[in-house]
Amino acid sequence: MADWNGKKILIVSMTTWGEMGNWLSGKSLGATIGAALPGCQVSVEAAETLIPRFAETGRRIKDATLGSATPEERFARYSQVLRELEPVLPPGFENSGSIEPLQPLVNRLKADPPDVAIGTKGVICRMLQAALRAAGLQRPVVNYVTNHGHFQFPVHRVEGAAIHLVRFPEGVAYLENTCGWPRESMRTVGYLIAAHQLGSLPATAAPLADQEPRQSLVIVSNRGGKEYLELLSALAAEARHVAVTFIGINDDELCAGAQAIIDGAGLDWRVVSSLSQKELFQLMLQARRRGVCSLVCKASPNSIFEAIYFGLPMFLLRTGLPMEEWGAEIVVRERLGTVAESMPELIPQITQALREESLLRAMQQRQAEFARVYLDQQASVKAIVGALDEVMET
């Protein structure tokens, strides 16, 4: 094992490209490395602070995802934002491009040089390579692939990374075929569960003896969508026995509509517009202790694998973003939940499963089997540390 005592690792993640999922992945990775290498100083910093133009790109991505009426429109608008970066970041930019937009990042690297730099998106890795060159520093850059589907966009294709850390074997195959990277440049490291790495889970999960087992449902709208109100109305009519928590993230109008439906039905269901990741994880954990807790949300990879870790039956809407489609495909292939194109298609499947709890229990069993193979946290930590040791030793 390499000697990490006194060494420094800098992790750079996006806060605005998506709903904080990339930032959460970076924080989780940082917590994992920090715990595994106690003599190493690990810093996790926002890409938008170090590379200001990324904030504007993030704003445009949010406008595209929230302001699109159909999945097709959403992907078209998202793709346009990424394609407009291609002339700014052409192939070879890392070795010869202008450094003016990178000056804050260059200054950061000069002021406190890391021994290893890690980017949680390919485009971040490319910026790190260019800034290290401009700073006159020779340091390895590690590409932590949080979502291999993003690499269909050329701006993410980072050449010359010291190593690529990929979550699943199918991601390795995808990157080999799409980017032409040799398999020996990649390591399969599994999926770090943010709830576990960030300390949101207690050491023991004692059952709540004073609570009757019951079904619960957590509905999360993190990209807008009036269709969630259609679901709430159906549940109020057909599944009044289920405890529902409706989360409309930063969407007061949607939450007001949800509250009106709940009040009109005379139910004591909960509506919230702001909930931290840690609070969400604790909510899921507590709901599971009391019985079967199911989840309704968009089929984004982070949501999918966190739900599998908690053993939450999933009812998912496709996002319309092809770089997230691989997560939905795993859910369908392994029968870990239900994926639908629209809420009218999803609602009857939800209500049927809530009536027939055996369907939910079967989903949980398949999730447990999947988690044993792909979500082994100790194995992931060992694989990540082993890969970083390789980088340091070479």
CA distance 78 to 156: 14
pLDDT at 97: 61
pLDDT at 189: 95
Strand ranges (DSSP E) for 3-63?
8-13, 41-46
pLDDT confidence bin for 209, thresholds 50/70/90? very low
The mean per-residue pLDDT over the stretch 100-113 comes to 92
pLDDT at 182: 96
Range scoring the smallest mean pLDDT among 96-105, 180-189, 223-232, 333-342: 96-105
pLDDT confidence bin for 374, thresholds 50/70/90? confident
pLDDT at 96: 78
pLDDT at 13: 96
pLDDT at 98: 66
pLDDT at 180: 95
Closest of 279, 285, 294 to residue 354, by C-alpha: 294
pLDDT confidence bin for 199, thresholds 50/70/90? low
> Taking all residues of the chain, what is their mean pLDDT, rounded to a whole number?
89
Whole-number percent of the chain with pLDDT over 70: 93
Superfamily of domain 214-374: Glycogen Phosphorylase B; (3.40.50.2000)
* Packing angle, helices 343-355 and 357-374, rounded to 10: 100
* pLDDT over 70 (residue 9): yes
Q: How many helices (H) and strands (E) does the chain have?
A: 17, 12
Query: Torsion angle, CA of 120/122/126/129, rounded to 10 degrees?
Result: 50
What DSSP state is assigned to residue 322?
A: G
Contact 258, 248 (CB under 8 A): yes
Whole-number percent of the chain with pLDDT over 90: 63
Range scoring the smallest mean pLDDT among 4-18, 40-54, 217-231: 217-231
Strand ranges (DSSP E) for the chain?
8-13, 41-46, 116-119, 141-145, 163-166, 186-188, 214-221, 243-248, 270-272, 291-298, 314-317, 337-340
* pLDDT over 50 (residue 101): yes
pLDDT at 18: 73
The mean per-residue pLDDT over the stretch 92-108 comes to 84
Q: Where are the domains of the chain?
A: 8-190+376-393, 214-374
Domain 8-190+376-393 class, CATH top level: alpha beta
> pLDDT digit string (tens) for 150-191?
999 999 999 999 999 999 998 999 999 999 999 999 999 999
Range scoring the smallest mean pLDDT among 13-17, 34-38, 193-197, 210-214: 210-214
* pLDDT over 60 (residue 123): yes
> pLDDT digit string (tens) for 276-315?
777 777 777 776 776 789 999 999 888 899 899 888 999 9
* pLDDT over 90 (residue 320): no
User: pTM of the full predicted structure?
Assistant: 0.85
The mean per-residue pLDDT over the stretch 96-124 comes to 91
pLDDT at 223: 67
* pLDDT over 50 (residue 89): yes
Same fold, 8-190+376-393 and 214-374: yes
